[in-house]
Structure 1
Amino acid sequence: MDQWNERKRPVCLEKRFEFSTYGETRDFLDRLGCLSEAQDRFPDLSFGKTYVNVTLRPLSDAEDAALTTDDHAFAQRIDELVD
């Protein structure tokens, strides 16, 4: 599976998940929704029939906000939804 891309401006982690069918895409979105609610963490999403783009931003809105180990741990939990 591809790695998360870490951007500096704006600070975020990004990853594109690709699926074979719309059903697989929808199942992933459902699992991601459950994980997000359980973690009280809601990434930015864009998606189409067979892909989902996920963007994680730091919890802080401060100008000097940085990604933390919690951000990377949440990204890992998202990866586990497709393993």
Structure 2
Amino acid sequence: MEELASRNCVPCHGGVPRLIGSEISRFLVEVTDWEVIEDHHLRKTYEFNNFRQALDFVNRVGELAEQQGHHPDFCFGWGKVEITIWTHAIDGLSESDFILAAKIDKL
């Protein structure tokens, strides 16, 4: 399979099935330290030395998200950033969620 980080997110407007079970597992092995929550979304926490580094990371991920047209949720504060990703149009996980996760890990 082509490396996820080298691919681009595909816009989803609904009407496609969510990933389930073995489909999720197939993509999960390609991203590091992301956890699948209730087969619905991906989540990962990144740690930094201070608030500025955390904020800079959020901004870099934001730029990437804009380029990819796929936008995660952020919770951040001093020294940490928690990112949650899912495809809102299908209320669950899609291949693009894993592509974005892989791209974030490359930042």
Q: Alpha-carbon deviations, 1:7-60, whole Å to 9, x = none?
A: 126x00000011012221121011011101111111111111111110001242
Per the alignment, residue 73 of structure 1 pairs with 99
Distance 2:92 2:58 in 1: 26
Per the alignment, residue 31 of structure 1 pairs with 60
Q: Which has the higher helix share?
A: 2
Moved over 6 A (4+): none
Give the aligned residue type for 1:68: S
**2:39 paired with 1:13:** no
Q: TM-score, structure 2 length as denominator?
A: 0.63
SS of residue in 2 equivalent to 1:60: helix
**2:82 paired with 1:50:** no
SS of residue in 1 equivalent to 2:100: helix
RMSD: 1.7
Q: State percent identity of aligned pairs.
A: 32
Aligned residues: 76
Q: TM-score, structure 1 length as denominator?
A: 0.79
Q: Which has the higher strand share?
A: 1
Q: Which has the higher contact order (CA 8 A, sep 6+)?
A: 2
Partner residue of 1:3 out of 6, 29, 33: 33
Task: Return 5+ residue gaps in structure 1 as ranges.
Answer: none
SS of residue in 2 equivalent to 1:15: strand
